[in-house]
Amino acid sequence: MVTRFNRRKFLVYGSATLGTSMLLKACGGTTTTDTGEADGGTETAAADGETIKVGILHSLSGTMAISETTVVDAEMLAIKEINAAGGVLGKQIEAVTEDGASDWPTFAEKAEKLIDQDQVAVVFGCWTSASRKAVLPVFESKNHMLWYPVQYEGQECSQNIFYTGAAPNQQIEPAVDWLLENKSKDFFLVGSDYVFPRTANTIIKEQLAAKGGNTVGEDYLPLGNTEVTPIITKIKAALPDGGVIFNSLNGDSNVAFFKQLQGAGMGPDQYPVMSVSVAEEEVRQIGTEFLTGHLASWNYFQTVETPENEKWVADFKAEFGDDRVTNDPMEAAYIMVYLWKQAVEAAGTTDIPEVRTAAYGQEMAAPEGPVTMNPNHHLSKTVRIGEVMDDGMFNILWETDGPIDPEPWNQFVPDTIGFACDWSDPAKGGKFEI
């Protein structure tokens, strides 16, 4: 009896409490006023004083630290070089480093801190698409500027982000074309379970359908998963006589995948794997024994033969040690600092809108060859396909004649066919029909 009464009482009181708190919440809205916080706008004192502050926002801890710390090294090298050569607008650059901790909300929090608290002139940062998507609203609502150095899935064109990695038409699409021509028409798609592989594979499937290839299967591994036996069985069942494996796995899973692929007796002659997230640094961690003969598509390899690259690789090794390697995201991170510097010097100020406009058309003789910043905030870049050699470097099998212009909105996906992006013209903006 007693307990029953009490339980009922609890329910009554409980629902009353819930109701009250709801009411309070609903009423709260009318009482709130704008406190008019002086949230440092965009044209604040970043350039005042002796130095220009720039933000560096990458994961220094957590799962993504593996990749992102190398990019930080490249950015720091560029800043050091620029400072040694006299800085920007006669001032030294001061880097404020923040740790995104491989956690997307933390990225958003730290981005806010860099903009509001430290009042940086620009932020260089992010690696995963998820982290970029998490900070995007911050940069848009504060009208600030982010430079993003990693190849990604496209389908985005923000006025507040400059993308110095490849768009899909500068990495994935040429790779698929090349494979169709040189390897096989049957593709199995393997990826990590997050947005880049999913979107990339959507594009690949559309492209294959348009060009006469077949998607015989696809599968996704959770990040960090190392049990790939079921996937290998699926590949064998779907491609009994060999074919292309298109791999957009990320991080740890790559190691397990390549080790066990070899264990299952599936070599590069019959099952060539084309990777879009495996560069020199990853090759080093996976082990060349498992990778020799497999393929990768990037804009930059350490083996690219340009005088700029020779100098860069030498400088990098002098700074961080002989056993270090350079790769595509690092190169993109390195050149984006320089491109920002050029834009600031062209604008004569660090104010965001002026720098943004001045960035369009900036050219640079990058280690990967000439690059140009387009009004759609992406770089024109050369595309290359390389094969892993015994020493862990890539033998460049094929490259485009010159830089390819970026297409942020994909031209194979039905939703975005016929769309483009041009921020130099206010009438066009982020997504307009050509």
Residues 48-107 that bind other proteins (CB under 8 A): 60-61, 63, 65-66, 69, 98-99, 101, 103-105
Among the listed residues 80, 183, 198, 211, the single contact to other proteins using CB under 8 A: 198
Could you say which residues in the range 400-419 bind other proteins, by CB under 8 A?
Answer: 413-416
Q: Whose structure tokens read 């006299």?
A: 86
Residue 406 is given by DSSP the state: P
Q: Compute the least distance from the CB of residue 111 to other proteins, in Å.
A: 10
- Residue pair 169/411 in contact (Cβ under 8 Å)? The answer is yes
CA dist 307 and 107 (Å) reads: 36
Check residue 431 for interaction with other proteins (CB under 8 A). Answer: no
3-state secondary structure 201-265: HHHHHHHHHHHCCEEEEEEEECCCCCCCHHHHHHHHHHCCCCCEEEEECCCHHHHHHHHHHHHCC
Residue 4 interacts with other proteins (CB under 8 A)? no
Site for other proteins in 328-387 (CB under 8 A): none
The count of other CB atoms within 10 Å of the CB of residue 3 is 7
- What is the contact mask toward other proteins in residues 27 to 46, using x (rule: CB under 8 A)? -xx-xxxxxxx-x-------
Residue with tokens 């920007």: 88
1 contributes a contact to other proteins by CB under 8 A: no
Hey, what amino acid is at 215? Answer: T
| Residues within window 136-175 making contact with other proteins, judged by CB under 8 A | 136-138, 140-141, 153, 155
Residues numbered 220 to 259 that lie near other proteins (CB under 8 A) are 220-222, 224-231, 233-234, 236, 240, 251-256, 259
Q: Which amino acid is at 190?
A: V
Nearest distance from residue 283's CB to other proteins, in Å?
9
CB atoms within 10 A of CB 272: 21
Least distance (Å) from other proteins to the CB of residue 328?
A: 17
Q: Name the minimum Å distance from CB 333 to other proteins.
A: 17
Among 48, 181, 289, 391, binds other proteins (CB under 8 A): 289
Q: Are 429 and 423 in contact (CB under 8 A)?
A: yes
Min separation Cβ 323 and other proteins, Å = 11
